A and B are shown apart, each in its own frame.
Chain A
Protein backbone atom coordinates (compact mmCIF):
# COMPACT_ATOMS: atom_id res chain seq x y z
CA UNK A 1 0.00 0.00 0.00
CA UNK A 2 1.19 3.50 -0.82
CA UNK A 3 -0.48 5.10 2.25
CA UNK A 4 -0.82 8.87 1.83
CA UNK A 5 0.65 10.32 -1.35
CA UNK A 6 1.25 14.03 -1.80
CA UNK A 7 2.20 15.78 -5.02
CA UNK A 8 4.17 17.77 -5.85
CA UNK A 9 7.03 17.46 -3.34
CA UNK A 10 8.36 20.92 -4.11
CA UNK A 11 6.81 23.99 -5.72
CA UNK A 12 7.77 27.61 -6.23
CA UNK A 13 5.03 30.10 -7.01
CA UNK A 14 4.80 33.78 -7.64
CA UNK A 15 2.54 35.96 -5.54
CA UNK A 16 -1.00 35.88 -6.89
CA UNK A 17 -0.71 32.54 -8.65
CA UNK A 18 -3.06 29.72 -7.80
CA UNK A 19 -2.30 26.04 -7.48
CA UNK A 20 -3.61 22.76 -6.14
CA UNK A 21 -1.75 20.45 -3.80
CA UNK A 22 -2.82 16.88 -4.34
CA UNK A 23 -3.38 14.28 -1.64
CA UNK A 24 -4.52 10.70 -2.11
CA UNK A 25 -4.85 7.80 0.32
CA UNK A 26 -5.49 4.14 -0.36
CA UNK A 27 -6.49 3.02 3.13
CA UNK A 28 -10.22 3.78 2.79
CA UNK A 29 -9.98 6.32 5.60
CA UNK A 30 -12.96 8.56 6.19
CA UNK A 31 -11.02 11.38 7.85
CA UNK A 32 -8.50 13.48 5.93
CA UNK A 33 -6.79 16.69 6.87
CA UNK A 34 -4.33 19.34 5.75
CA UNK A 35 -1.74 20.92 8.03
CA UNK A 36 0.89 23.52 7.51
CA UNK A 37 4.19 23.36 9.38
CA UNK A 38 6.21 26.47 10.08
CA UNK A 39 9.37 26.70 12.20
CA UNK A 40 8.54 26.88 15.89
CA UNK A 41 4.80 26.63 15.24
CA UNK A 42 4.21 22.89 15.15
CA UNK A 43 1.45 21.67 12.86
CA UNK A 44 -1.62 23.82 12.37
CA UNK A 45 -4.81 22.43 10.93
CA UNK A 46 -6.01 24.15 7.75
CA UNK A 47 -9.04 22.12 6.67
CA UNK A 48 -10.36 18.67 7.33
CA UNK A 49 -12.96 16.26 6.03
CA UNK A 50 -14.86 13.53 7.84
CA UNK A 51 -16.05 11.89 4.65
CA UNK A 52 -16.80 12.41 0.97
CA UNK A 53 -18.77 15.60 0.46
CA UNK A 54 -18.06 16.95 3.96
CA UNK A 55 -15.37 19.50 4.74
CA UNK A 56 -14.77 21.97 7.54
CA UNK A 57 -12.32 24.65 8.55
CA UNK A 58 -9.47 24.17 10.94
CA UNK A 59 -7.34 26.68 12.77
CA UNK A 60 -5.87 28.55 9.78
CA UNK A 61 -8.25 28.22 6.78
CA UNK A 62 -7.93 31.67 5.20
CA UNK A 63 -6.59 31.63 1.65
CA UNK A 64 -7.23 27.91 1.15
CA UNK A 65 -10.07 25.87 -0.32
CA UNK A 66 -10.74 22.14 -0.18
CA UNK A 67 -13.21 19.68 -1.60
CA UNK A 68 -13.78 15.97 -1.08
CA UNK A 69 -15.53 14.36 -4.00
CA UNK A 70 -14.16 10.87 -3.29
CA UNK A 71 -12.95 9.02 -0.21
CA UNK A 72 -9.46 8.76 -1.67
CA UNK A 73 -8.68 12.35 -2.67
CA UNK A 74 -8.50 15.59 -0.73
CA UNK A 75 -6.91 18.41 -2.76
CA UNK A 76 -5.91 21.73 -1.21
CA UNK A 77 -6.25 24.85 -3.36
CA UNK A 78 -4.39 28.09 -2.88
CA UNK A 79 -6.59 30.72 -4.45
CA UNK A 80 -4.11 33.60 -4.74
CA UNK A 81 -0.72 32.71 -3.29
CA UNK A 82 0.87 35.06 -0.77
CA UNK A 83 4.39 34.97 0.71
CA UNK A 84 2.82 34.16 4.12
CA UNK A 85 1.76 30.83 2.66
CA UNK A 86 5.35 29.73 2.23
CA UNK A 87 5.39 26.58 4.33
CA UNK A 88 5.55 22.81 4.35
CA UNK A 89 2.13 21.27 3.85
CA UNK A 90 1.18 17.85 5.15
CA UNK A 91 -1.84 15.77 4.32
CA UNK A 92 -2.97 13.09 6.76
CA UNK A 93 -5.68 10.46 6.98
CA UNK A 94 -7.22 8.24 9.63
CA UNK A 95 -10.37 6.27 10.34
CA UNK A 96 -11.53 9.12 12.57
CA UNK A 97 -9.99 12.48 13.41
CA UNK A 98 -8.99 11.46 16.90
CA UNK A 99 -7.37 8.24 15.76
CA UNK A 100 -3.70 7.88 14.82
CA UNK A 101 -3.14 9.76 11.61
CA UNK A 102 -1.02 8.63 8.68
CA UNK A 103 0.98 11.45 7.13
CA UNK A 104 2.25 12.05 3.65
CA UNK A 105 5.83 13.18 3.05
CA UNK A 106 4.84 16.81 2.61
CA UNK A 107 4.88 19.50 -0.06
CA UNK A 108 7.47 22.24 0.34
CA UNK A 109 5.96 25.43 -1.08
CA UNK A 110 7.72 28.74 -1.60
CA UNK A 111 5.88 31.88 -2.62
CA UNK A 112 8.03 34.62 -4.09
Chain B
Protein backbone atom coordinates (compact mmCIF):
# COMPACT_ATOMS: atom_id res chain seq x y z
CA UNK B 1 0.00 0.00 0.00
CA UNK B 2 1.10 3.54 -0.65
CA UNK B 3 2.25 5.37 2.45
CA UNK B 4 4.29 8.26 3.73
CA UNK B 5 6.25 8.10 6.97
CA UNK B 6 7.60 11.05 8.88
CA UNK B 7 9.57 9.38 11.69
CA UNK B 8 9.94 12.47 13.86
CA UNK B 9 6.81 13.74 15.57
CA UNK B 10 8.49 16.76 17.17
CA UNK B 11 11.90 18.36 16.61
CA UNK B 12 13.45 21.29 18.46
CA UNK B 13 16.36 23.23 16.98
CA UNK B 14 18.12 26.42 17.96
CA UNK B 15 17.71 29.51 15.85
CA UNK B 16 20.48 29.65 13.28
CA UNK B 17 21.09 25.90 13.36
CA UNK B 18 20.57 23.63 10.39
CA UNK B 19 17.50 21.48 10.01
CA UNK B 20 16.62 18.19 8.37
CA UNK B 21 13.12 16.72 8.45
CA UNK B 22 12.82 13.15 7.29
CA UNK B 23 10.26 11.70 4.92
CA UNK B 24 10.11 8.16 3.60
CA UNK B 25 7.53 6.91 1.16
CA UNK B 26 6.28 3.62 -0.15
CA UNK B 27 5.09 3.82 -3.72
CA UNK B 28 4.88 1.50 -6.69
CA UNK B 29 5.97 3.96 -9.34
CA UNK B 30 7.86 7.20 -9.63
CA UNK B 31 6.06 9.49 -7.23
CA UNK B 32 5.32 13.14 -7.20
CA UNK B 33 6.61 14.48 -3.87
CA UNK B 34 5.68 17.55 -1.88
CA UNK B 35 6.46 19.36 1.34
CA UNK B 36 3.85 21.59 2.93
CA UNK B 37 4.06 23.86 5.97
CA UNK B 38 1.23 24.69 8.34
CA UNK B 39 1.44 27.58 10.78
CA UNK B 40 -0.87 27.46 13.81
CA UNK B 41 -4.48 28.09 12.86
CA UNK B 42 -3.69 28.22 9.16
CA UNK B 43 -4.10 26.06 6.10
CA UNK B 44 -1.25 24.27 4.39
CA UNK B 45 1.19 26.13 2.17
CA UNK B 46 3.30 24.43 -0.47
CA UNK B 47 7.04 24.68 0.24
CA UNK B 48 8.37 22.72 -2.71
CA UNK B 49 7.64 19.88 -5.08
CA UNK B 50 9.47 17.20 -7.04
CA UNK B 51 8.10 15.81 -10.27
CA UNK B 52 11.19 14.79 -12.22
CA UNK B 53 14.68 15.95 -13.20
CA UNK B 54 17.15 17.38 -10.72
CA UNK B 55 16.81 15.48 -7.48
CA UNK B 56 17.66 18.54 -5.35
CA UNK B 57 14.76 20.96 -5.44
CA UNK B 58 14.61 24.45 -4.06
CA UNK B 59 11.54 25.88 -2.43
CA UNK B 60 10.31 28.98 -0.74
CA UNK B 61 11.65 30.42 2.52
CA UNK B 62 15.12 28.95 1.94
CA UNK B 63 14.03 25.30 2.11
CA UNK B 64 15.34 22.54 -0.12
CA UNK B 65 14.69 18.82 -0.42
CA UNK B 66 16.53 15.94 -2.00
CA UNK B 67 14.84 12.98 -3.70
CA UNK B 68 16.76 9.74 -3.15
CA UNK B 69 15.12 6.95 -5.06
CA UNK B 70 17.37 4.25 -3.60
CA UNK B 71 16.32 5.22 -0.07
CA UNK B 72 12.69 6.13 -0.91
CA UNK B 73 13.29 9.40 0.86
CA UNK B 74 12.54 13.06 0.31
CA UNK B 75 14.12 14.89 3.25
CA UNK B 76 13.58 18.59 3.81
CA UNK B 77 16.52 20.79 4.79
CA UNK B 78 17.31 24.34 5.74
CA UNK B 79 20.77 25.70 6.47
CA UNK B 80 19.84 28.29 9.07
CA UNK B 81 16.52 28.11 10.88
CA UNK B 82 14.62 31.27 11.80
CA UNK B 83 12.16 31.59 14.67
CA UNK B 84 9.38 32.10 12.11
CA UNK B 85 9.98 28.57 10.79
CA UNK B 86 8.28 27.12 13.87
CA UNK B 87 5.33 25.25 12.38
CA UNK B 88 4.18 21.79 11.40
CA UNK B 89 5.59 20.24 8.25
CA UNK B 90 3.90 17.64 6.11
CA UNK B 91 5.38 15.44 3.43
CA UNK B 92 3.02 14.17 0.73
CA UNK B 93 3.23 11.80 -2.20
CA UNK B 94 1.09 12.02 -5.30
CA UNK B 95 0.06 9.53 -7.90
CA UNK B 96 0.70 9.98 -11.57
CA UNK B 97 -2.45 7.98 -12.32
CA UNK B 98 -3.88 10.62 -14.55
CA UNK B 99 -6.38 13.04 -13.13
CA UNK B 100 -7.67 10.72 -10.45
CA UNK B 101 -4.50 10.59 -8.43
CA UNK B 102 -4.74 11.78 -4.86
CA UNK B 103 -2.19 13.02 -2.37
CA UNK B 104 -1.21 10.89 0.60
CA UNK B 105 0.07 12.86 3.56
CA UNK B 106 2.43 11.91 6.33
CA UNK B 107 1.38 12.58 9.91
CA UNK B 108 3.53 15.65 10.20
CA UNK B 109 6.58 16.86 12.10
CA UNK B 110 6.19 19.74 14.50
CA UNK B 111 9.19 22.07 14.53
CA UNK B 112 9.98 24.20 17.58
CA UNK B 113 12.74 26.82 17.42
CA UNK B 114 14.73 27.83 20.51
CA UNK B 115 15.99 31.41 20.70
Interface residues of A (CB under 8 A from B): 4, 30-31, 33, 35, 40-45, 48, 50-51, 56, 58, 90, 92, 96-106
Contact = CB atoms under 8 A, between A and B. Distances in A.
Contacts of B106: 42
Given A96-B101, A106-B43, 15 more contacts: A33-B102, A40-B9, A41-B107, A43-B44, A45-B102, A50-B100, A92-B44, A96-B98, A98-B94, A98-B97, A98-B102, A99-B94, A100-B49, A103-B36, A105-B43
Contacts of A43: 44, 90, 105
B95 interface: yes
Residue with the greatest number of chain B CB neighbours at <10 A, chosen from A41, A45, A99: A99
14 contacts: A40-B9, A40-B107, A41-B107, A43-B105, A45-B102, A58-B102, A96-B98, A97-B101, A97-B103, A98-B101, A99-B32, A100-B46, A103-B43, A104-B43
A106 B41 CA distance: 8
Interface residues of B, number: 26
Contact of A103 (B44, B95, B108): B44
B94 A105 contact: no
Contacts of A97: 94-95, 99-103
Contacts of A41: 107
A72 to B, nearest CB: 18
Contacts of B34: 100
Residue with the greatest number of chain A CB neighbours at <10 A, chosen from B9, B43, B45, B108: B43
B44 A98 contact: no
A102 B45 CA distance: 7
